[in-house]
Structure 1
Amino acid sequence: MAGLLDQPHHDGSELYVPHGAPRLGDTVPVRFRVPATGSERAVWVRTVRDAEPRMEPARLEHADEHERWYVADIPMHNPVTSYRALLDEPGGYRWLNGAGVHSRDVADTHDFRLSAHEPAAAWLDDAVVYQIFPDRFARSSGHTGRPTGELPDWAEPADWADESIGSGPSTPRQLYGGDLRGIEQRLDHLQRLGVDTVYLTPVFPARSNHRYDASTFDHVDPVLGGDEALVSLSRALHSRGMRLLGDLTTNHTGAGHEWFARAQADRASAEASFYYWQDEAPGYVGWLGHDSLPKLNYNAPALAERMVEGPDSIIGRWLREPVSLDGWRIDVANMTGRHGADDFTHQVARAIRATMRDLNPEAVLVSEHFHDAGLDLRAGGWHTNMNYSAFTRPVWTWLVDPDNELGFLGLPTSIPRRDGGSMVATMREFDAAVPWSITTHQWNMLGSHDTPRLRTVVGSRAMVEVAAGLLFTYPGTPVMFAGDEGGLTGVNGEHGRAPMPWPSIDAGGGPRWDAATFDVYRSLIALRRSSRALREGGIRWAVVEPDAVAYLRETADERVLVLVARAPWGGATLPRHLVPAGGEAQNLYGGAALSLRPDAIELPGDGPGVQVWRLA
């Protein structure tokens, strides 16, 4: 897969597909780019209508010495319409789909897709999201010893400088005392970094520091400052032109939840129908067998009304004034509504989206799904997903420290080290499982509160920069976990939930805060904001080598070349016509000038590092 620009290409960006969601009944012109070296006699497009394939002819729209452009008209008959191109060539044919070009027949899994479902709000095109675990970000008191005041009976108070406990019974009980007003006091840090959207893990009362075992959804935990503190934080963010997303468990409650208490006390109550019951101990179904997390049962219409349907539901009430959340991230969204023969996931997701649309059409709905979310994301519910499969996992396998012994996101093995070809193939396959309108909004992450820290995974500041280079130049929405911008470490999710070392941050660096890494993140965020192609453009893979990858991000008015290398490599050449005659390659990041020979563009073999050029 060394050089890929000599292959036909298509993606869902504006060069190939009209912007915006088509409506049922529309005819959508889709374009395909074929290099002038191609041998095609004709191009056809295979669509699927009511589960039956149809072939639509593509007509030659434009040709020059470098490439030919074909266009085909696709009827939008089904809400999600899949298609792929057939290149009729001497001796046979090849298929072009989202995973690449194939000289064999292929399944429909990786076909391109048009979706009539309304995409996420346009503001997500430009967003950079910052995830905050409230207990570990900042205390409004500024006190650095053990938290003071009235604490819950389950809590084991910790000094702000204590190491996070990564395993054992104390892990969910270790309480540092971060609060929402502490976050509000530190918004200058976020704006200095360049982020504009805050995603908070749960803020409801619970019996753990992570609060995914809520005891009510009606109020904010007093330990965090209560409802007034969330209102204040939301208003402070909105006054700065920033946004705020909440986190909700639609799959389960805590065993201490008020609904569950009523359900246990009165099996004839409405709340009793909200849960799954069983004869075996403890008498009810817990999420993944955890007694502390009783699973919700969406066979109960009253549960949907209480949780997800309408302005007075849990989903709705926090979107309204005075909190006015800008959206929700849904915990374990892939399991919500699923148990045995029951499968209400798509129904629940669509109900949430409808509630959000009525209250705030700009609100976004993000699912947590660690695995293949393709089928769920095509159903018109979740706007987008936390993109572990198509981004986090493949990037980790390319950049991981080869001596690591870290667990690999639920697998009984350590993180394997693989080459660039493996990374790119994985990205393309998972990206192809969803429409481009979702790919371009996927929440790309290098880690979260549920994973080891990036710095621990890759082992060095240089590799952190390489990973961040991918994060801020790849299609999708960049999402970062608070502290990654300063090189915080952690061997698993719980251990990685380290408190922000504000004394070192305020001093411009220190033993627990790498100021150089902060500068890398700030510079790359600024780079992304400076380029529409990096925010909205399509992607053409140009070079895929074991130790380096290069790709083009393109809009109608801009072409940007990104080169990312994990080690020194042999370099490569690209077609000279990528830079028009008389044009130049403007260095945007990395400092190196791009070598423009009369017959080729020469990519340097430096590494590790990130280099970005605008090809004017």
Structure 2
Amino acid sequence: MDVQTPDWVKHAVFYQIFPDRFARSNNHSYGPAMAAALEPWDDPPTLEGYKGGNLWGVIERLDYLQDLGITAIYFTPIFQSTSNHRYHTHDYYQVDPLLGGNEAFFALLEAAHQRDIRVVLDGVFNHTGRGFFYFNDILENGPHSPWLDWFKIEAWPLSAYDGSLPANYIGWIGNRALPEFNHDNPAVREYIMRVGEHWIRAGIDGWRLDVPFEIATEGFWQEFRQRVKALNPDAYIVGEVWKDARPWLDGTQFDAVMNYLFTGPTIAYVAGPRVQMEYAELPDYYPYPPLDARGYGDKIQQLLERYPWEIQLSQLNLLSSHDIARLLSVAGEDQASLALGVLLQMTFPGAPSVYYGDEVGLPGGLDPDCRRTFPPQAQWNQEMLTLHRGLIALRRAHPALRVGGYEVLAAEGMTYVFARVLPQELIIIAVNADEQPSQLTVPFALDWSEELPQQRLFGQGSATWQQGTASPQLALELPARSGLVLG
């Protein structure tokens, strides 16, 4: 099949921002919409409370993101809503006034693009909020509303708030706060298509699609892709599909998915028995049971064989997100687990995505704790920030780490060694996830006529090439819980 994905994504480093919690600017006058009682920034997050992070604050942090090496931002929803996470959409054409409204967004888009930073928005098109105009009209006018067929009404009366009564309409996973669209209604379908087109015309660089597997209407996502790509062939369409995504990655729908099939095995390998099961059992990404190097290599090989290479290069590779506990907390605050995870993330095919705050050592359990506010600079883990900055720079400096082939060289005990290969560049990455130092001699069987990589580009340990009878061998010595990159 002919699969085309945007070239820029293959070279991108994403930063995921939960807008209410990243940065709050006090340098703008917002009018009455912002005269709101906000939770103290430093208090633990709550399910319903607002911290008041806004897009003006993001603009003020763009220099920080640029210095970190970020080239794209994925925002969780920003449209007008009645929830701090904004998955309860009220108006798909208005940026939430608490975030600064459309004015702040367009200022942000311009400032980001001036720095060559792309912007991808979250499209919540399976369901909406109870305050969405067309559903609200049904609540007000009952069976007389002209928009009944926009939703999945089952009986009367509707009970949108009283949980002791049947809702009598379909809400996402039974949540009456999230009425599901009737996507078989041509008017609904056209409405969503036009929302997708509107923000592409406005200049955004792509859509992350929330729970797209819930929309079963035939041809829906094919049409969405056609209409978005007609306006901007380089627009990135990435779906939130946690498991096998082959039905959506056939070249006619999404460019990629959020690659939780990378996340789970990577954490199971680097964190192993340190994984805190109270954080790991509920979400469907399986960072357990612990994996040794061979088990990890098998999982990665299965993943790389699952989708076309063009799609592998555009996958969104994450270690934490707003839907799962942060890796640092999943690993029981073990910093080496996060460091090794980032090393594997930044050297893997696809676009790495840093969840805001992970780079400065921000912990966080399950929702809402994984949505803590970005800490003040005095609380940053500078060692972790330096690690992220260095590995992002390494990835950006070496094309093989972005678009080179992926070859497993060795997987013994807890030591995993692989190469990223282009015709003119070979990078070798070795990881020892064990609590003991590792010594390993790796036969080198790749078809490679250029000079073998000798220079340590990152990490600790030693690497020496030995000329064997048939092919060279790489003698590795790695400290406990460490990694090494040769180029």
Q: Return the TM-score normalized by structure 1.
A: 0.72
Q: Gapped runs of 5+ residues in structure 1?
A: 1-114, 166-170, 338-342, 505-509
Secondary structure (helix, strand or coil) at the match of 2:394 reads helix
Give the corresponding residue for 1:520: 387
Asked if 1 retains the 8 angstrom alpha-carbon contact of 2:257 and 2:315, the reply is yes
1:59-98, CA deviations, whole angstroms, 9 ceiling, x for partnerless residues?
xxxxxxxxxxxxxxxxxxxxxxxxxxxxxxxxxxxxxxxx
Going from structure 1 to structure 2, the CA distance change for 1:606 and 1:186 (only over 3 Å counts) comes to same
1:219 is aligned, of 71, 88, 94, to 94
2:268 is aligned, of 397, 401, 404, to 397
Within the alignment, does 1:476 sit opposite 2:357 as a pair?
no
RMSD of the TM alignment (CA)?
2.4
Within the alignment, does 1:160 sit opposite 2:25 as a pair?
no
Give the corresponding residue for 1:569: 438
Displacement of 1:426: 2.0
Give the corresponding residue for 1:185: 60
Going from structure 1 to structure 2, the CA distance change for 1:271 and 1:379 (only over 3 Å counts) comes to farther
Secondary structure (helix, strand or coil) at the match of 1:295 reads coil
> Partners of 1:413 and 1:241 in 2: how far apart?
35
Asked if 1 retains the 8 angstrom alpha-carbon contact of 2:14 and 2:74, the reply is yes
Corresponding letter in the other structure for 1:575: F
Displacement of 1:415: 4.0
> Partners of 1:142 and 1:497 in 2: how far apart?
24
Corresponding letter in the other structure for 2:425: E
2:409 is aligned, of 542, 548, 564, to 542
Displacement of 1:491: 1.2
Give the corresponding residue for 1:316: 197
Asked if 2 retains the 8 angstrom alpha-carbon contact of 1:445 and 1:480, the reply is yes
2:169 is aligned, of 284, 297, 300, to 284
Within the alignment, does 1:302 sit opposite 2:176 as a pair?
no
> Partners of 1:382 and 1:401 in 2: how far apart?
32
Displacement of 1:412: 12
What are the residue-to-residue correspondences of 1:82-481 with 2, within 5 Å? 115-117=1-3, 119-141=4-26, 150=32, 157-165=38-46, 171=47, 173-264=48-139, 265=141, 267=143, 271-279=147-155, 281-308=166-193, 313-321=194-202, 324-335=203-214, 337=215, 343-344=216-217, 347-378=219-250, 380-389=252-261, 391-400=262-271, 402-403=273-274, 404-405=276-277, 406-410=279-283, 415-458=288-331, 459-481=333-355
Displacement of 1:157: 2.7
Secondary structure (helix, strand or coil) at the match of 2:147 reads helix
Give the corresponding residue for 1:91: none
Displacement of 1:422: 2.2
> Partners of 2:426 and 2:311 in 1: how far apart?
22
> Partners of 1:412 and 1:452 in 2: how far apart?
11
> Partners of 1:244 and 1:572 in 2: how far apart?
44
Displacement of 1:231: 0.4
Going from structure 1 to structure 2, the CA distance change for 1:609 and 1:319 (only over 3 Å counts) comes to same
Identity across aligned pairs (percent)?
31
Displacement of 1:271: 3.0
Going from structure 1 to structure 2, the CA distance change for 1:604 and 1:250 (only over 3 Å counts) comes to same
Asked if 1 retains the 8 angstrom alpha-carbon contact of 2:460 and 2:482, the reply is no
Corresponding letter in the other structure for 1:496: C
Asked if 2 retains the 8 angstrom alpha-carbon contact of 1:579 and 1:585, the reply is no
Displacement of 1:433: 2.2
Corresponding residue pairs, total: 468
Going from structure 1 to structure 2, the CA distance change for 1:562 and 1:303 (only over 3 Å counts) comes to same
Going from structure 1 to structure 2, the CA distance change for 1:461 and 1:325 (only over 3 Å counts) comes to same
Displacement of 1:545: 2.4
Give the corresponding residue for 1:604: 477
1:531-562, CA deviations, whole angstroms, 9 ceiling, x for partnerless residues?
11100011111111231211111112111111
Asked if 2 retains the 8 angstrom alpha-carbon contact of 1:276 and 1:297, the reply is yes
Asked if 2 retains the 8 angstrom alpha-carbon contact of 1:201 and 1:247, the reply is yes
Secondary structure (helix, strand or coil) at the match of 1:198 reads strand
Q: Return the TM-score normalized by structure 2.
A: 0.90
1:365-400, CA deviations, whole angstroms, 9 ceiling, x for partnerless residues?
0100112212221251011000002x1111111123
> Partners of 2:254 and 2:213 in 1: how far apart?
10
1:131-178, CA deviations, whole angstroms, 9 ceiling, x for partnerless residues?
0000001111079xxx9975699x87311111223xxxxx1x111000
Asked if 2 retains the 8 angstrom alpha-carbon contact of 1:128 and 1:479, the reply is yes
Corresponding letter in the other structure for 1:611: L
Corresponding letter in the other structure for 1:369: V
> Partners of 1:581 and 1:400 in 2: how far apart?
36
Displacement of 1:304: 1.1
Corresponding letter in the other structure for 2:155: D
Asked if 2 retains the 8 angstrom alpha-carbon contact of 1:156 and 1:174, the reply is no
1:234-268, CA deviations, whole angstroms, 9 ceiling, x for partnerless residues?
00001111111111111100111112113443646
> Partners of 1:304 and 1:412 in 2: how far apart?
31
Going from structure 1 to structure 2, the CA distance change for 1:584 and 1:218 (only over 3 Å counts) comes to closer
1:493 is aligned, of 354, 363, 367, to 367
1:392-421, CA deviations, whole angstroms, 9 ceiling, x for partnerless residues?
111111123624232334369984322222
Secondary structure (helix, strand or coil) at the match of 1:199 reads strand
> Partners of 2:57 and 2:243 in 1: how far apart?
34
Asked if 1 retains the 8 angstrom alpha-carbon contact of 2:6 and 2:236, the reply is yes
